[in-house]
């Protein structure tokens, strides 16, 4: 079964045990520190996108969501089309649908203060945001036309497909149980792709499990592994136990703030 079919089945059967029904307290606390509401934000493996709802409701408009499940992204189009936000923008670009075979996901659960949270380089995402094939895999890319809700910003988009094929750069990437849905063998590719998707100075921010699981997904891990994984490419600003996890996850989550250096190394 392809990964898209696997995740479609989870959503079709309502087997979304990771879904807490709201933005997690740690991420909400982090979002409240953000002062520049024009920054470009990516939410990979977005799931039911409670983070995006919160951000839209609080004036952030430059959001890109991506998930591999067509069933889910179809529901998201309906969900966001039915919501009203105080935005003056008037168009929603079509979602992009591709036949892919890599897994995503979306789980929820905290946060130490980030004194440098204000992100520069708030480049607005243009309508050319795309999912691009790689030499080793070249799936067909086709448009999925949809009627743009007038209440949503023109820089809000929902993409259906493989995160690893996304080609664009962002100021901030939100990690919310996407990492733990990927088999551990994907983790080096995840770190590399996050690095490439961020503008210089941009940040990868979110939650990682600090525990093991008997099988996956979700796949667990620990701080020492994450430190070794991310320090090769990023400045790790925070990798600390969450103090405000939801009760079922208390003591089992880490909050990550990893910043891409302002300048590319000479070898890049």
Give per-residue pLDDT as tens, 176-218: 999 999 999 999 999 999 999 999 999 999 999 999 999 889 9
pLDDT at 28 (0 to 100): 96
pLDDT at 20 (0 to 100): 79
pLDDT at 174 (0 to 100): 98
Say how many domains are in the chain.
Answer: 1
Half-sphere exposure of 18 (CA within 13 A, CB side): 27
pLDDT at 15 (0 to 100): 77
pLDDT at 149 (0 to 100): 57
Give the CA distances from residue 181 to residues 108, 157, 209, in Å, rounded to whole numbers and listed in that order.
12, 22, 11
Cα distance between residue 14 and residue 79, in whole Å = 16
Give the CA distances from residue 106 to residues 61, 140, 229, 268, in Å, rounded to whole numbers and listed in that order.
21, 25, 21, 31
- Tell me the torsion sign for CA atoms 56, 199, 201, 102: positive
How does strand 166-167 pair with strand 130-131? antiparallel
Along the 268 residues of the chain, how does pLDDT read in single tens digits? 458 888 888 878 787 777 777 899 999 999 999 999 999 999 999 999 999 999 999 999 899 999 999 999 999 999 998 876 543 332 233 333 332 223 333 333 333 334 444 332 222 223 334 444 333 333 332 234 344 455 677 889 999 999 999 999 999 999 999 999 999 999 999 999 999 999 999 999 999 999 999 988 999 999 999 999 999 999 999 999 999 999 999 999 999 999 999 865 544 4
pLDDT at 132 (0 to 100): 41
265 lies in some domain: no
CB 165 within 8 A of CB 133: yes
pLDDT at 195 (0 to 100): 98
51 lies in some domain: yes
- Residue 161, C-beta contacts closer than 8 angstroms, at least 6 positions apart: 66, 68, 96, 97, 98, 100, 131
pLDDT at 84 (0 to 100): 62
125 lies in some domain: yes
239 lies in some domain: yes
218 lies in some domain: yes
Assign residue 217 the CATH number of its domain.
Answer: 3.40.50.150
pLDDT at 135 (0 to 100): 33
CB 253 within 8 A of CB 208: yes
pLDDT at 115 (0 to 100): 41
138 lies in some domain: yes
The total of other beta-carbon atoms located within 10 Å of residue 184's CB is 14
Cα distance between residue 94 and residue 227, in whole Å = 37
Cα distance between residue 177 and residue 47, in whole Å = 9
CB 187 within 8 A of CB 156: no
198 lies in some domain: yes
Range of the structural domain that residue 193 is part of: 3-259
267 lies in some domain: no
């Amino acid at each position: 079964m392809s990964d898209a079919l696997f995740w479609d089945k989870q959503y079709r059967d309502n087997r979304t045990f990771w879904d807490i029904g709201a933005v997690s307290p740690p991420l909400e606390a982090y979002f409240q520190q953000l002062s520049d509401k024009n920054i470009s934000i990516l939410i990979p493996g977005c799931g039911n996108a409670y983070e995006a709802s919160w951000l839209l409701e609080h004036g952030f408009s430059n959001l890109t969501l991506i998930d591999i499940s067509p069933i889910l992204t179809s529901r998201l189009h309906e969900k966001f089309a039915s919501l009203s936000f105080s935005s003056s923008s008037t168009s929603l670009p079509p979602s992009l649908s591709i036949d892919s075979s890599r897994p995503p996901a979306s789980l929820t659960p905290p946060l130490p203060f980030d004194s440098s949270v204000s992100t520069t380089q708030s480049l607005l995402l243009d309508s050319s945001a795309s999912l691009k094939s790689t030499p080793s895999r070249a799936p067909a890319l086709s448009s999925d036309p949809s009627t743009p809700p007038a209440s949503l910003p023109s820089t809000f988009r929902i993409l259906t497909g493989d995160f690893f094929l996304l080609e664009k750069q962002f100021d901030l990437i939100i990690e919310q149980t996407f990492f733990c849905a990927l088999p551990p063998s994907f983790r080096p590719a995840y770190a590399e792709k996050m690095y490439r998707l961020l503008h210089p100075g941009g940040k990868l921010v979110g939650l990682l499990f600090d525990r093991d699981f008997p099988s996956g997904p979700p796949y667990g891990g620990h701080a020492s592994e994450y430190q070794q994984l991310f320090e090769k490419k990023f400045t790790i600003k925070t990798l600390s136990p969450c103090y405000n996890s939801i009760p079922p996850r208390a003591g089992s989550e880490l909050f990550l703030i990893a910043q891409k250096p302002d300048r590319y190394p000479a070898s890049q």
